[in-house]
Amino acid sequence: MAHYDYKEGKKRINDILNNKLEVIKDSRIPKDESLTFKNAYYGWVTGIFVDIRDSTTLFSAEDKEIVSKMIRTFTSEIIEILRDDDNLREIGIRGDCVFAVYTTPLMDDIYNIADNAFQVNTFIKMLNKLFDKKSFPNIEVGIGIASSQELVVKAGRKGTGINNSVWIGDAVTTAANLSALGNKNGYSTIAMSSLTYDNIIEKMVVETATAKSWFTRRIDPALGAFYNAEIIKTDFDNWISSGMPD
């Protein structure tokens, strides 16, 4: 049986507590190689979470082959949509949820992440059409997006290769919580923080004058005000409706 060396543990804790840590304030969060155990960064971040609704029922289905294929296709393509961005800083899977975190120092950067959400929302329509052809059940998702200034710290055990970025602030937590509201209790799929909305709506109105009408302002007892929408990509949706020709 392995035993924890608590005396060495005490030394490591004191090393961390007593060493100087540089907190670098920058609008842009750097890539992993710039984040070390001796620094931390504080900058603008946007998180997006895509959460399957009623996944407990889906995962408990008797045909595990079908469940496996559904989860694999869902995660594969959501990751494909979310990963293609130079500002991506973390992407992963948490249970039935795919998430991504981006550095977003500019309003255009936040807009690009919102556009990813619109792509994901349209993709779910395509996925369900393909599931229909296999007589698989359909899925619904909640998509949460939030932006804020966030502290990112490299955490883990130095020298072991076991470490990860920890995001401390509102963006990642709020995006995760908003994803739990989408497509539930009469809400539309996309749930967006007020700060994210404020940073994208002017550009959306320039592109489409009626864009504000696509959003509904909601109030959640725990999260406060947010914006709810069911936005899709028109060209993508038209291709789906036309039978998805090769």
Euclidean distance between CA atoms 121 and 190, whole angstroms: 8
Cβ proximity of 203 and 107 under 8 Å:
yes
- One-letter amino acid at 196 equals T
Residue type, 154: K
Contact criterion met (CB below 8 Å) for 114 and 192:
yes
Yes or no: domain 22-161+170-241 corresponds to CATH 3.30.70.1230: yes
C-alpha span between 143 and 178 (Å, rounded) = 7
- Position 166 scores a pLDDT of 81
Q: ∠121-166-39 over CA atoms, to 5°?
A: 135
Half-sphere exposure of 32 (CA within 13 A, CB side): 10
Residue 201: what are its φ and ψ, rounded to 5°?
-65, -35
Residue ranges covered by each domain of the chain: 22-161+170-241
Specify the pLDDT at position 40.
Answer: 80
Strand partners, 116: none
* 135-148 burial code (b ≥16 CB/10 A, e <16): ebeebebbbbbbbb
pLDDT at residue number 2: 58
- Report pTM: 0.88
Tell me which residue has tokens 């999260």. 223
Cα first-last separation, the chain = 57
Query: pLDDT value at position 189?
Result: 97
DSSP string over 156-182: EETTTTEEEEEEESHHHHHHHHHHTTT
* Angle at the Cα of 233 from the Cα atoms of 227 and 238, rounded to 5 degrees: 140
**∠ CA 198-204-208, rounded to 5°:** 145
What is the structure's pLDDT at 6? 44
Q: Which residues of the chain have pLDDT under 70?
A: 1-7, 9-10, 12-13, 16-17, 21, 32-36, 61, 156-163
- The confidence score (pLDDT) of residue 195 equals 97
Predicted local distance difference test score (pLDDT) of residue 24:
76
Q: How far apart are CA 128 and CA 219, in angstroms?
A: 30
Interatomic CA distance for residues 144 and 156, integer angstroms? 27
Token pair recorded at residue 48: 């997006």
